[in-house]
Structure 1
Amino acid sequence: MNTRNIQKLFTFFCLYIAQTIPMSFFSTVIPVMMRQDNFSLTSIGLLQLIKLPWVLKFLWSPFIDGSSTTLKDYKRWIFSSELVYAIIIFAVSFLEFKTNFLTILILIIISFVASATQDIATDALAVLSFSRKDKSLANSMQSMGSFGGTLIGSGLLLLLFKHLGWNSLLPYVAVFVIIALIPLYFYKGRSINEKHIRQKARLSDVIYFFTQKRIWRQIVFLIFYYSGLIGTLAMLKPYLVDLGYNMKEIGVMVGILGTFTGFLCSFAGGIIVRKLGRYTSRILFAVCILSSACYFYIISWFTPNIAMLHAGILLLWGSYGMATIVVYTTAMDCVRPGREGTDFTIQTVLTHLSSMLIAISSGKLADHFGYHGLFLFEIILATCSLIYILIAFKRKKDNETGSTRKI
Structure 2
Amino acid sequence: MTVTGARRVRAFSPLATVLAIGGLYVGQSIIGGVTFSALPSVLRDRGLPLDQIGLTYLAVLPWVLKFLWAPAIERYRLPSNGPSRSRSIVLAGGMISAICFILAAVIGPTSFVPLMAVFIVVAFAASTVDIACDGHAVESLSERYHGWGNAAQVGGAYLGSAIGSGLFLVLVARVDWTQAMIAMAVLLVLLGLPFVLSPAITPTDARTHRPSLRDALIRPEMRRGLALAALYAVSQKWGLAMLGPFLIDSGLDLDALGIINGAGGMILGFGCAVLSGALVRHWGARAILVLALILQAVALAGLGAAAWIGAVHHVLLLGLALASSSAIMALGFVALYAQFMKLSDPRQAGIDFTLLQCMDAFVSMIGGIGAGWIAQHFGYSACFGLAAILVTLAASPVAILSKGAKGNEASSQPRRPLPQQF
User: Which piece of structure 1 moves more, 71-80 or 38-47?
Assistant: 38-47
Pairwise mapping of residues 184-333 of structure 1 onto structure 2 (< 5 A)? 184-188=195-199, 191-192=202-203, 194=205, 197-202=207-212, 205=213, 209-237=216-244, 239-240=246-247, 244-248=250-254, 250-253=257-260, 256-258=263-265, 260-293=267-300, 295-296=302-303, 304-317=312-325, 318-333=327-342
| 1:339 matched to 2:348 | yes
Q: Secondary structure at the match of 1:384?
A: helix
Encode CA deviations 1:44-72: one digit per residue, 9 max, x unaligned.
65554344322222221111111223654
Query: C-alpha displacement at 1:8, in angstroms?
Result: 2.6
| Alignment counterpart, residue 190 of structure 2, candidates 162, 169, 179 | 179
Query: C-alpha displacement at 1:392, in angstroms?
Result: 3.7
Query: C-alpha displacement at 1:124, in angstroms?
Result: 0.8
- Aligned residues: CA RMSD: 4.1
Give structure 1 stretches of 5+ with no counterpart: none
| Alignment counterpart, residue 152 of structure 1, candidates 156, 163, 167 | 163
Give structure 2 stretches of 5+ with no counterpart: 1-11
Q: Secondary structure at the match of 2:292?
A: helix
Encode CA deviations 1:134-175: one digit per residue, 9 max, x unaligned.
223312222222222222123323333455545555554433
Q: Secondary structure at the match of 2:144?
A: coil
Encode CA deviations 1:283-331: one digit per residue, 9 max, x unaligned.
3333333443455566677565445434433432311112121222211
| 1:8 matched to 2:17 | yes
**Which residue does 2:3 correspond to in 1?**
none
Query: C-alpha displacement at 1:224, in angstroms?
Result: 1.2
Amino acid at match of 1:247: D
Amino acid at match of 1:218: G
Is residue 50–residue 109 contact of structure 1 (8 Å, CA) maintained in 2? yes
Q: Secondary structure at the match of 1:57?
A: helix
Is residue 133–residue 274 contact of structure 1 (8 Å, CA) maintained in 2? no
Query: C-alpha displacement at 1:14, in angstroms?
Result: 0.8
Aligned partners of 2:305 and 2:109: how far apart in 1?
46
Amino acid at match of 1:246: L
User: Which piece of structure 1 moves more, 57-66 or 294-303?
Assistant: 294-303
Query: C-alpha displacement at 1:347, in angstroms?
Result: 0.9
Query: C-alpha displacement at 1:239, in angstroms?
Result: 4.9
User: Which piece of structure 1 moves more, 95-104 or 59-68?
Assistant: 95-104
Is residue 100–residue 119 contact of structure 2 (8 Å, CA) maintained in 1? yes
User: Which piece of structure 1 moves more, 318-327 or 109-118?
Assistant: 109-118
Aligned partners of 1:192 and 1:288: how far apart in 2?
44
Aligned partners of 1:91 and 1:393: how far apart in 2?
43
Percent of aligned pairs with the same residue? 25
User: Which piece of structure 1 moves more, 151-160 or 11-20?
Assistant: 151-160
Q: Measured at CA, do residues 251 and 102 of structure 1 come closer, stay the same or move farther in structure 2, by a change above 3 Å?
A: closer
Is residue 336–residue 404 contact of structure 1 (8 Å, CA) maintained in 2? no
User: Which piece of structure 1 moves more, 390-399 or 44-53?
Assistant: 390-399
Return the TM-score normalized by structure 2: 0.76
Q: Secondary structure at the match of 1:246?
A: coil
Amino acid at match of 1:224: L
Aligned partners of 1:354 and 1:106: how far apart in 2?
21
Q: Measured at CA, do residues 19 and 241 of structure 1 come closer, stay the same or move farther in structure 2, by a change above 3 Å?
A: closer
Aligned partners of 1:294 and 1:34: how far apart in 2?
26
**Which residue does 2:134 correspond to in 1?**
123
Aligned partners of 1:278 and 1:116: how far apart in 2?
26
**Which residue does 1:76 correspond to in 2?**
88
Encode CA deviations 1:187-245: one digit per residue, 9 max, x unaligned.
347634656x543224xx1x553332243322221111243343432343455567x43
Q: Measured at CA, do residues 117 and 312 of structure 1 come closer, stay the same or move farther in structure 2, by a change above 3 Å?
A: same
Q: Measured at CA, do residues 192 and 386 of structure 1 come closer, stay the same or move farther in structure 2, by a change above 3 Å?
A: farther
Return the TM-score normalized by structure 1: 0.78
Q: Secondary structure at the match of 1:388?
A: helix
Is residue 108–residue 178 contact of structure 2 (8 Å, CA) maintained in 1? no
- Structure scoring higher RCO (CA < 8 A, sep ≥ 6) equals 2
Is residue 229–residue 293 contact of structure 1 (8 Å, CA) maintained in 2? no
Q: Measured at CA, do residues 98 and 347 of structure 1 come closer, stay the same or move farther in structure 2, by a change above 3 Å?
A: closer
User: Which piece of structure 1 moves more, 55-64 or 311-320?
Assistant: 311-320
Q: Secondary structure at the match of 1:187?
A: coil
Is residue 335–residue 404 contact of structure 1 (8 Å, CA) maintained in 2? no
Encode CA deviations 1:364-404: one digit per residue, 9 max, x unaligned.
66678766665554444333332224434434849997248
Aligned partners of 1:364 and 1:92: how far apart in 2?
26
**Which residue does 2:362 correspond to in 1?**
353
**Which residue does 1:402 correspond to in 2?**
412
Amino acid at match of 2:241: A
Amino acid at match of 2:223: W
